[in-house]
Homo-oligomer: A and B are copies of this chain.
């Protein structure tokens, strides 16, 4: 008998430490970026992490001059960045989720994320909702659903930055059973009212709570060609509250130990379940959505 279901964690995941590497990277400085990532991943492992999240486009930086600069920095899925992350995952026994600029077999460039363990890439994903300059630098938006992979630490979903602002997209990963959604991001720093938590984090809190799913985000810090980054990395629990200390704007490896098994229980009251209570037959919008 051939099992067709993923090799499971029948009794559910056990507590695991998740680390978000909040890094100052620079566009084009690929070797420096890789070294910085390597050091952060080793730091995360030393802190006991089982799952490590890296920022969006971590191999190459973000603020490209033009499509030519981006294209020159993109790598195939089996290129040096993902190979190194696989080696780190194997050596330090980690599951690593991170973003990189991907040159596809089709010659196109994607804002991709990959989930690797010691066996290599377990899933690759291409950002479906492109942000601002990404539309002019020649990124092609992906059209595949966010992957959800059964790992030794639980089921992990993957998407990139602006994708997290589309609750429909987050819902897909949650309905596919993600216990933890990993989001490599590069959040630009915007003004906000005094005393307010950045809206990007607020929206991730909502993503988590309405699905009773953990979310881990690794953001950038510092300034790159005049662009300031927020540095808003966080791990949010299934109730929607951050469980990492805030290290806004600092270079840091943020860690939290979480019980991802909590995400297997979607009930929030005696008679409510955040997924069973959905009424999907009512949700298509006649003016804009397929019905």
Name A's B-contacting residues (CB within 8 A). 128-133, 135-136, 141, 143, 145, 162, 165-169, 171-172, 175-176, 192-193, 196-197, 199, 202-203, 205-207, 209-210, 239-242, 269-272, 274-275, 277-285, 287-291
Q: Assess whether A203 is in contact with B209, with CB atoms less than 8 Å apart.
A: yes
A56 to B: closest C-beta gap in Å: 16
Known: A168-B283, A199-B239, A206-B206. 10 other contacts (CB 8 A): A129-B279, A131-B271, A132-B270, A132-B271, A167-B171, A168-B280, A171-B285, A202-B240, A205-B206, A280-B290
A193 to B246, CA, bound (A): 14
A74 to B176, CA, bound (A): 40
Complex interface: chain B residues within 8 A of A197 (CB) = 197
A289 to B: closest C-beta gap in Å: 4
14 CB < 8 A contacts A-B: A128-B279, A131-B271, A133-B271, A141-B279, A167-B171, A171-B283, A175-B287, A176-B287, A193-B241, A199-B241, A202-B202, A203-B240, A280-B289, A283-B289
**Most interface-central of A130, A240, A274 (chain B CB within 10 A):** A240
A17 to B: closest C-beta gap in Å: 19
A242 to B: closest C-beta gap in Å: 8
Q: Assess whether A271 is in contact with B143, with CB atoms less than 8 Å apart.
A: no
A85 to B: closest C-beta gap in Å: 27
